[in-house]
Structure 1
Amino acid sequence: MTVFLLLYLCADATHTDCQVFPAQRWKGPDAYEQCIGTVPGLTKALTAPNRELHRFVCEVQADGAQPAEHKAQPAFIHQSFRM
């Protein structure tokens, strides 16, 4: 298994306009656990305002797959519709 640590650099706290950068990669059966263990320290190292804007995400990739150009997905927006 291959896991990528992705850094989402977002323009605002809604996380709808983000650029994604691969920050680190792990391979092996405990790769996800290694990635998850890294996230709290990296997040703590960000300044308080940047913690609201930017985030680290661990993403599992199929072995042999290269990290594609990631396009950040907008955050799910909860809406209610009335008829």
Structure 2
Amino acid sequence: MTVFLLLYLCIDATHTDCQMVRADSWSGPTAYEQCTDLVPGLTETLTAPNRKRHRFVCEIQGDGAKPEEHKALPAFIHQSFRM
């Protein structure tokens, strides 16, 4: 199993306009636990206003079974506008 640590950089707290940045990754049977152990400390390093807007998420890649506590995020729609 491979797990990616993703940082969602969002314009506001509604999380409707976010940019995803891959921050790290792990492979192996304990990959998800390694990722989730890191998230609280990283979240704490954000400033209070940024904690409301940005978030760290561990996402499992591949066909393996997902841990019970893993919740799927709503799909973000990326739109591009030209003027």
Compute the TM-score of the two structures, normalised by the length of structure 2: 0.76
Structure number with bigger Rg: 1
Aligned to 1:36: 36
Matched residues in 1 for 2:50 and 2:11: separation?
Answer: 10
Shift of 1:29: 0.1
Mapping for residues 66-77 of structure 1, pairs under 5 Å: 73=76
Aligned to 1:4: 4
Matched residues in 2 for 1:61 and 1:13: separation?
Answer: 26
Mapping for residues 23-62 of structure 1, pairs under 5 Å: 23-62=23-62
Aligned to 2:19: 19
- Superposed CA deviations along residues 17-69 of structure 1, whole A, max 9, x for unmatched, are 00000000000000000000000000000000000000000000017xxxxxx
Percent of aligned pairs with the same residue? Answer: 71
Give SS of 2:37's match. Answer: helix
Runs ≥4 residues deviating over 3 A: none
Flag structure 2 segments of 5+ consecutive residues without an equivalent.
64-74, 78-83
Matched residues in 2 for 1:41 and 1:57: separation?
Answer: 13
Q: How many residues align?
A: 66
Matched residues in 2 for 1:49 and 1:11: separation?
Answer: 11
